[in-house]
Amino acid sequence: MFHVAAQAWDIRGARAAGTAGAYINRYDIPYVDADGSQAGLEVPGSAELADELTQT
């Protein structure tokens, strides 16, 4: 299960709750979290997210 967001603070909250975070990077802005961690998945849009999630 992923929490999908376009900002680091939502993904950080998801991780704190035990869920992975998927970063939608629509504007090619680097993912920056204050603790230095990375999102579990980074994609440029929702279509690419769907592609990633349906790959076997």
pLDDT for position 56: 56
Task: Give the mean model confidence (pLDDT) for residues 13-41.
Answer: 91
Q: Which band of pLDDT confidence, cut at 50, 70 and 90, is reported for residue 36?
A: confident
The Cα 15–Cα 28 span in angstroms is 22
CA distance 56 to 52: 9
- What pLDDT shows up at residue 45? 97
Q: SS3 string of the chain? A: CEEEECCHHHHHHHHHCCCEEEEECCCCCCCCCCCCCCCCEEECCHHHHHHHHHCC
Question: Tokens in use for 41?
Answer: 């998945």
pTM of the model: 0.85
Q: Look over the chain and give the mean of its residue pLDDT values, rounded to a whole number.
A: 92
Residue-wise pLDDT for 37-55, tens only, equals: 899 999 999 999 999 999 9
